[in-house]
Chain A
Amino acid sequence: MIKEIRYKNFKALRDATLPLGRFTLIVGANGTGKTTALRSLEVARDYKKIEWKDVVSIDILDREKEPVQLGFETDQSDKKITWVRSEAVGRDIKQLNLSNLLERKLHEIQEKIFNDFRIFSFDANKIAERVAIRMDLRLGENGQGLAGILDQLRDNDPERFEELNTELNKWFPEYDRILFEVPHDGFKSFLLRTRFGKHKISAENLSDGTRLALAYLTLAYLPNPPKIVAFEEPEKGIHPRLLRNIQEAMDRLAYPENFGEKREPIQVIATTHSPYLLDLYKDRREEIVIADKDENGAHFNRLSDLPHIEEILQEQDAPLGDIWYSGVLGGVPVQP
C-alpha cells in the first residue's frame, strides 16, 4: 500500500504531499490537482517512458535544471522511493537519480504495486459495447470489456457470479439476473433480465446509470482486482441514493475482510465533487483529503488534520457535503 506521495514540480503539484490510506476520498475544486495526483501513479508505473517535459510544472518549463520528483512512501519498504526526472540543457537526459540498490528496490516495488494500478473513469457507452471473446480480458479503464469480464466470472467463479447477481438485485430490484448473448461469432454482450415478466434488456438499452453501477459492482466482486484502483468521480450518472451502494462497492475492495472476502485489500483512491457522496463519510473523516490551490500551487490536507476540525464539525445539523460546499473546509473554487 502507498502511504504517502510527495510531489515536487509535478504539473500543478509544485510542492505537495498526498496522504493515503486503504481508502482515500479526495474532494476539491476543479484544477486542484486531484487527477494529476492519480496520474502520478501512472508515471510510477511507466517511469521509463516518461519525459521531463511531459510532467514538469508549466511555469518552470524554461528552467531545465529543475527536476521533477515523486516520492512514494509504501508499506513495502522503510525507505521512501523517490523518482527524479531532470533534463539538462541541449540534451535529453532521462535520469533515474537513485543508487543501484534503490533502483532495484524501486523496480521490485514497481512490479509489486504500480504495475497493477488502474484509474477507472467509466463510460456508459463503452460498458455496453460487445466484446471480442478472449482469454486475457481485463476491464478497461472506461469499462470496456465488461461483458467479457462478467462472462469469465460466470465460467471461472460461478459462486461469485451468483453473489453478484444477488447484489445486483438489491441495487436494482427490477432486475434479477445477468445474461449473455452472442451477437456475432466471437463476440459477446450482456443483458439484464427483468424480475417481473423476465424480459431481456440488452446492455445498450439499459440506462447509463445502470450500466455504470454494474461496472462498479462487477469490479468489487472480481476475485483478483488490480492492487491499486482509482475512481474519477464515481458519482457520475449515479442517483444520489445509489451512492451508498457505490460506497459499499469501493469498501468491499478496500476492506475485504469486513465483507467475508478472503483476498488481500485493494488500495482505493476516489475523487469527487459530490456533496452527496461526501455525506456518506461523515464518520470517516480520516479517509477524506481536501485538495486546494493557492499561489504556491495545489496541496492536500486530510480533513481530520484541519485545525479545530472537531470544533467546526460538532453540533452540525447540515450533512458533511453541505458543510464542504459552504467553503469552511476548503476545497471549493476560488472566487476572483
Chain B
Amino acid sequence: MKIAIFSESPTDEAALKILIEGILGEEIEETPYPNNLRSRGSGVIRDVPAVVRAVYYNTEAEFLVIVCDSDDSPIHKKEHLEPNNKDSERCQLCRLRVVVRATLKTLGSKPGKGNFKVAVGVTVPSIEAWLLCGKNPSASEATWINKQKEKGLNTYNDRRNLKIELYGAAVTSMAIMIECGTEAAKRLAENIKYLEELFPDGFGEIAREIRSWKK
C-alpha cells in the first residue's frame, strides 16, 4: 500500500509509519515527497488543502494520513457530530474532517486515483501521550477530557511533562526523540487495540479508517 503521511515533526513521521504498519499488519510503502511532508508547528489544518491536492495530483500515493496535535483545543466527543454543536468549531478533529472533505470534493479526476482516501487523527494533547500509552496509566483521552473539565484548555505544562517522561528531558536531540518515539511505537504496534481503546477518537477513528483501506 502506498501511503503518504503529513504531520508536525520528524518524530511524528517516524512513529506514525510504525503505527500505521501496526494497524494494517503489513509494511507500507511510504510515498512521501523526497523530504517528507511537514507542517510548521501548529499549522497543519491551514496546510491541509494544498497537501491533499499535491499528494493526489503529484504522487503515486493511494492514501494519505494526516495527524496533528490537539494542543489546547477541545478534545473530540461524539456530541460534536450533532448538528450545530458549538465545540465542533474548535475541535481539531472535526475541523480537519471538514477541511479534508471540502478539499476532496474539489479534486478533478485522475487515472488510478479513483479510490484515493484520506484518514485524519489527532494526538491528545501531543504524540507523546499516544507513545506513553501502556507505560503511563494516565495516558488516555479520558485523562485529558477530565483535565480540561477541571483546569480548562491549557496543556502547556502537561505537554512538557510528557516530553520529559518519554525522552528523559524537555529539550533533547532529534535523534533521541526519534529513537524513543520509534521504540514506543514498535511496542504499541504489537498491541494496537490498546491504543485504540485508550484514545478512541483521536487514534481509534483513524485506525478504523486505515483498516478499512485494506478491505
Contacts and interface: CB of A to CB of B under 8 A. Distances in A.
Interface in A12-44: 23
B175 A255 contact: no
A283 interface: yes
Contact of A314 (B72, B163, B169): B72
Contacts of A285: 156
B41 A284 contact: no
Nearest to A249: B173
Nearest to B42: A319
Interface in A270-326: 276, 279-280, 282-285, 310, 313-322
A258 B172 contact: yes
A244 interface: yes
B153 A315 contact: yes
Contacts of A91: none
Nearest to B72: A314
B40 A276 contact: yes
A282 B173 contact: no
Contacts of B171: 23, 251, 254-255, 258, 284
Nearest to A285: B156
Given A258-B172, A283-B160, A283-B163, A241 B46 contact: no
Contacts of B25: none
Given A314-B72, A319-B41, A259 B172 contact: yes
A319 B156 contact: no
Nearest to B153: A314
B133 interface: no
A279 B40 contact: yes
A188 interface: no
B153 A282 contact: no
Interface residues of A, number: 32
Contact of B173 (A23, A240, A248, A254): A248
A316 B40 contact: no
A258 B156 contact: no
Given A314-B72, A314-B154, A252 B41 contact: no
Contacts of A279: 40-41
A198 interface: no
Q: Is the interface of B mostly helix, strand, loop or mixed?
A: loop
A104 interface: no
B166 to A, nearest CB: 13
Interface string B1-38: 00000000010000000000000000000000001001
Contacts of A170: 175
A47 to B, nearest CB: 33
A282 B172 contact: no
Given A310-B154, A314-B153, A314-B154, A284 B170 contact: yes
Given A314-B72, A315-B72, A315-B90, A282 B41 contact: yes
B173 A283 contact: no
A23 B169 CA distance: 15
A320 B41 CA distance: 8
Interface of A: 23, 170, 240-241, 244-245, 248, 251-252, 254-255, 257-259, 276, 279-280, 282-285, 310, 313-322
27 contacts: A23-B171, A248-B173, A251-B172, A254-B171, A258-B168, A259-B172, A279-B40, A279-B41, A283-B159, A283-B170, A284-B170, A310-B156, A313-B72, A314-B71, A314-B152, A314-B153, A315-B71, A316-B71, A316-B72, A317-B43, A317-B46, A318-B42, A318-B43, A319-B41, A319-B42, A320-B42, A322-B43
Given A255-B172, A259-B173, A313-B72, 14 more contacts: A23-B171, A245-B174, A255-B169, A257-B169, A282-B41, A283-B159, A284-B171, A315-B71, A315-B72, A315-B90, A316-B42, A317-B43, A319-B41, A322-B43
Interface of B: 10, 35, 38, 40-43, 45-46, 71-73, 90, 152-154, 156, 159-160, 163, 168-176
| Top 7 closest pairs, chain A to chain B, by CB | A314-B72, A319-B41, A258-B169, A279-B41, A258-B172, A319-B40, A255-B171
